[in-house]
Amino acid sequence: MTSPAAPREVLLHVGHGKTGSSFLQSALANSIEELASHGIAYPMAAEERERVRAGGISSGNMGPAPARLVQLLKGDWTGGATVPVDRLLLSSESHFNKMRPKGFMDKLQRRLPGTSIRVMLYIRDPLDHAVSCYQQSVKRGGYTGDFASFLDDYVTPGNVSAFLAWLGELDNVDVMVRNYSRHKTTLAQTFEDWMGIPDGTLCPPSVKQVNRSMTNAEIALQRAFSDALGWATAKFISDPLCEHLPDVRSERPAAPPEALERFLSRMQGLIVRKGLERHLPEGEHYHLPSLEEALAQFSAPDPAPVHQFSEAQLRVLVAAISEEIRQATDGGGVLQEEAKRAAGLTDKKVRRKRLP
């Protein structure tokens, strides 16, 4: 018995961001044979699979680029499975923001007309999610602002509403929503339940915490480097800290009381205005703390904060920065490469402008 020429069902894990995606994707990379034994293909390049199994962070196996999807479906969509499979699992949290504008779902449905598509969307309570998103934006996005400014721009529940409304207009698409805040300790089980496979099938990653958030000292350092030298400094500041010291406990950023009050009021209005209580399953609704509860979770900003690093953190930083300096002296390093890339993009733009 062999696998069919095309999958009978496509399973899409779409995030959104900061809802345990890295943990789940590491578990999936560790469980490719186990998934195949239940008829599910999770195609992944061998080198990426080994990197993740060694403790590296995974971003899933398929982003929202339609060209990559077509390439996969034209080739061996089973990922080289040695047992018959008839379901295809694709995972990337970038689907949440980019699937619709890139035309991914349209391409998928045209390539596989009539095929059942099932979507797993994880959400998270707004305040906790804002904290985690702020951390990630500083850690890898080059964000240099403070947490209060970030809170004022946070709109994820509104994006969830628009995403669910769009999916609801599509044929043969079934959506499951789970709130990460309710299932943080049983995340793998919720994913297994969605796929219809036994509890315990997924093999958890070797490290207890995948893609951890940062301490306030680490946040301050990364913000300073990003402000001075750009987002690429994450490669030798936050990335090595989080990958080599995964068990360091993260900290909540300071937050002014007035910023928290604005945020909670705005979120309450957004949830009501978008009708999210009606569109989310019972037990998965958003929860907002009272202002008093929120104030108890955050310290007020210190006008002259003092930051501390452990010896282990200092050793990781010194090693990573020293390596960047060594590479830079030879014309390499992440900053040199980013400068070359930026210059190349600039040159291309200039050349295009000169064309008639």
Task: Give yes or no: residues 226 and 112 share one domain.
Answer: no
Task: Give yes or no: residues 47 and 167 share one domain.
Answer: yes
Say which residues have a Cβ less than 8 Å from residue 116's Cβ, sequence separation at least 6: 8, 9, 10, 172, 174
Strand partners for 119? 12, 175
Task: Give yes or no: residues 173 and 226 share one domain.
Answer: no
The Cα–Cα gap between 238 and 269 comes to 35
pLDDT at 283: 95
Task: Give yes or no: residues 90 and 53 share one domain.
Answer: yes
**Per-residue pLDDT tens over the stretch 73-117:** 999 999 999 999 999 999 999 999 999 999 999 999 999 999 999
**Per-residue pLDDT tens over the stretch 300-327:** 999 999 999 999 999 999 999 999 999 9
Task: Give yes or no: residues 116 and 44 share one domain.
Answer: yes
Q: pTM to 2 decimals?
A: 0.91
Residue 4 domain-assigned (yes or no): no
Contact 285, 149 (CB under 8 A): no
pLDDT at 58: 83
- Between 5 and 258, name the one with better pLDDT: 258
Q: If pLDDT is split at 50, 70 and 90, which confidence band does 351 have?
A: very low
Residue 211 has pLDDT above 90, yes or no: no
Closest CA to 198 of 209, 207, 189, 208: 189
Structure-token match 């949830």, residue found: 271
Residue 134 domain-assigned (yes or no): no
**Per-residue pLDDT tens over the stretch 252-280:** 999 999 999 999 999 999 999 999 988 89
Q: Which domain holds residue 59?
A: 9-124+155-195
Task: Give yes or no: residues 186 and 330 share one domain.
Answer: no
> Concatenated DSSP letters for 192-233?
HHHHT--TT-S---SSSSSS----HHHHHHHHHHHHHH-GGG
Task: Give yes or no: residues 178 and 317 share one domain.
Answer: no
Total number of domains in the chain: 2
Residue 143 domain-assigned (yes or no): no
Residue 4 has pLDDT above 90, yes or no: no
Residue 347 has pLDDT above 70, yes or no: no
Residue 65 domain-assigned (yes or no): yes
pLDDT at 189: 98
pLDDT at 10: 98
Q: DSSP code of 282? A: T
The Cα–Cα gap between 159 and 16 comes to 10
Residue 295 domain-assigned (yes or no): no
pLDDT at 345: 59
Say which residues have a Cβ less than 8 Å from residue 330's Cβ, sequence separation at least 6: none
Residue 117 domain-assigned (yes or no): yes
Structure-token match 């062999």, residue found: 2
